Amino acid sequence: MKKITAYSRITDSLVILNGKPCEITFSCEPGPGRLAEIYRFLESGYPKFFKMDNLSKAGFLASEMVLRSLHYDMESPDESTAVVFANRSSSLDNDKRFQETISREDYFPSPAVFVYTLPNIVTGEVAIRNKILGETSFFILESFDAEKMMIFVDWAFASAGTRRVLCGWTEYLDGHCDVLVMMVEKESDQGVDYNKQNINNIYIT
């Protein structure tokens, strides 16, 4: 029976790991500064974090929390884990930032900003960080929808060899963050049952 074995939630006002709030003292308003504060709290030691767009940063941090809580081996290549994220605003937060760089007459487009003008880059960043070699995919939805997300996760499990799926909702736009990342395992006796009601309950915490 599939189980949700760990989850994290990052919003403008909360950082939660497996139902428990993380005791982070924020000095910044919600937005990029606060994401950096969470990064420092986690002591991730991954300088590439600072080159990411805000969507990738948010997804990276939530994934980092989940995988660490499961003592995930991020040093060994892993083909049995897939990454499936979804959101509403795609990469619009970064797209707007890139547009600003090209809207001036004497414009200098930034390659480092341009490379994040796709939402699925966040799944790649998480996969690279953790040596995950399974399927990665990203979907755009009107709003958070547990039922549709379960369909996407089941597609990932249909891939031969997939035993767990790191999945969730990674929404970031204009300084506002709404992220839920879960680990769903195909066969586990830990965690809570993987069903629509439990996913919705976790999301609204």
Stretch that binds other proteins, among 57-65, 105-113, 121-129, 193-201 (CB under 8 A): 105-113
* Minimum distance, C-beta of residue 156 to other proteins, in the bound complex (Å): 28
Q: Can you tell me which of 115, 118, 146, 192 binds other proteins, judged by CB under 8 A? A: 115
CA–CA separation, 18 vs 135, rounded Å? 25
DSSP label at 127? H
CA–CA separation, 138 vs 80, rounded Å? 18
* Minimum distance, C-beta of residue 53 to other proteins, in the bound complex (Å): 11
Q: Can you tell me which of 27, 108, 143, 147 binds other proteins, judged by CB under 8 A? A: 108
Sorted by sequence, the CB contacts under 8 Å of residue 203 that are 6+ apart come out as 9, 144, 146, 169, 180
* Minimum distance, C-beta of residue 111 to other proteins, in the bound complex (Å): 4
Strand, helix or coil at 65? helix
Strand, helix or coil at 150? helix
* Minimum distance, C-beta of residue 178 to other proteins, in the bound complex (Å): 24
Site string for other proteins, 34-73 (x = CB under 8 A): --x----------x-xxx----------------------
> Two tokens at 203?
């999301």
Angstrom CA distances, 147 to 141, 168, 179, stand at: 11, 12, 17
Closer residue to other proteins (CB): 48 or 196: 48
Say how many C-beta atoms besides its own lie within 10 A of residue 23's C-beta.
7
Number of residues that bind other proteins (CB under 8 A): 11
Closer residue to other proteins (CB): 117 or 188: 117
Cβ burial of 110 (10 Å; 0-12, 13-18, 19+) is: middle
β-partners of residue 180 are 9, 169
Sorted by sequence, the CB contacts under 8 Å of residue 71 that are 6+ apart come out as none
Closer residue to other proteins (CB): 77 or 111: 111
Closer residue to other proteins (CB): 108 or 143: 108
Closer residue to other proteins (CB): 108 or 189: 108
Stretch that binds other proteins, among 9-17, 107-115, 133-141, 172-180 (CB under 8 A): 107-115
Contacting positions for other proteins (CB under 8 A): 36, 47, 49-51, 108-112, 115
